[in-house]
A and B are shown apart, each in its own frame.
Chain A
């Protein structure tokens, strides 16, 4: 095993005790950081030091630390999940930073994602959007025969691509308009590509989009920052497909059926 290098960083971290209290940046030194650590492990080390010095540790969200759960995420030097393409913050390793770097660490900024504490934001707006229609209604109970409903390969692939969305909120954080359309379109297209998603397809588009608007997310200006920031590389064409479903739903489907 090769010997690990260590680096020294200066962190400017957003500290905010709660939503009601104004926040500010604090500067901390991160010394002897192994380049094999993940970004979150680096924060753990800094927090240990802060605790030893009697300072409240930095609050940040995390769970699986394998890049699959969507819990972690903050903005590092102006980029959601940091600068590495297709990577969540927990999978961003310190070898991608240089000794002496200054990192500005901020929470995701959006009206619909209010700050809970420090780098932790309330992303329950996403749950509310899912509750509005991001599901299929099926009879639960005995498992159905796996091949009773055939899915064309192309649709299965497209659905799988959209289903890769982990709902981390980086699209909202990266969008200059704090728009949630990449997330919502991924969920709509994941189900809309599959036979099981068809009965509720148009109702789903209407309800999820209306909920998204109600929660205060912005509009899509086709900047494509969302696609560039998405750790799962969800494509922006999903947004176009979502727009199509919505317009078809409104113009060509009997709204009373909803």
Chain B
């Protein structure tokens, strides 16, 4: 345990944890998207999936707790790293010119991260917390999902947020391998391309969910 804390103290160690938590969050996104995709088969399938998860009892609470811890560590590390990076460049250049290393995604990682944090809070309030507070079952949640996306403001922010998520992943996915030392002159280039593809896939995947939900409600 003390070793894990010791690693955390260094820049490379913090990036290591950032990468591992990012990878785990990506795993969660795969699960989340697969789960939500059950909407394609109708409200019943989605409701059955939600009820199945709720039926696992302590298991789902434990999984949610672990997930919350992963999210919190990713957010916490992101804040610490960004602040120390700002501190390291204490005086800004009056003229700043990229030589082509940076990408839009890499430059905006802290900002896309912050937008995603806001989205996460709103998203949890909209669905997870509302479901718990109202004591809804799967069917009621399925109805709520379909209803909620009829609100144009919510739908717009959701679409914006999943595009931001795609941008975040398009840098984060390859960057995490570099941070954990899985790097190679050739394979890293492939990972950079794969990251962009994954970013687009996640954005499109999540963006289709509200349209399916709204179509089902008609």
Contact = CB atoms under 8 A, between A and B. Distances in A.
A51 to B, nearest CB: 26
Given A176-B85, A255-B3, A240 B96 contact: no
B133 interface: no
B180 A243 contact: yes
A98 interface: no
Contacts of A245: 181
Contacts, number: 156
A213 B183 CA distance: 22
Interface in B13-28: 13-16
A110 B88 contact: yes
**Interface size class, chain A:** 35 or more
A202 to B, nearest CB: 13
A104 interface: yes
Interface in B74-113: 81, 84-85, 87-103, 106-107, 109
Contacts of B154: none
Interface stretch (B142-150, B155-163, B171-179, B203-211): B171-179
B11 interface: yes
Given A218-B84, A244-B181, A106 B97 contact: no
Contacts of B171: 222
Contact of A227 (B12, B84, B101): B101
A102 B85 CA distance: 30
Interface residues of B, number: 47
A235 B102 CA distance: 15
A15 B15 CA distance: 37
B179 A237 contact: no
A244 B180 CA distance: 6
A209 B15 CA distance: 13
Most chain B CB atoms below 10 A, which of A223, A243, A251: A243
Nearest to B177: A240
Given A222-B171, A240-B188, A78 B96 contact: yes
Contact of B15 (A106, A219, A237, A251): A219
B88 A112 contact: yes
Nearest to A104: B95
Contact of B95 (A78, A181, A219, A227): A78
Which 10 A-B pairs have CB atoms at the shortest separation, nearest pair first?
A240-B183, A244-B181, A78-B97, A218-B88, A224-B101, A177-B85, A228-B99, A225-B101, A228-B101, A178-B88
Interface of A: 25, 75, 77-79, 83, 85, 104, 106, 109-112, 174, 176-179, 181, 209-210, 212-213, 216-229, 235-237, 239-248, 250-251, 255
12 contacts: A79-B97, A109-B92, A110-B89, A111-B90, A174-B101, A219-B88, A221-B106, A221-B109, A227-B101, A228-B98, A247-B16, A247-B181
Interface of B: 3, 6-7, 9-16, 81, 84-85, 87-103, 106-107, 109, 171, 174-175, 177-185, 188
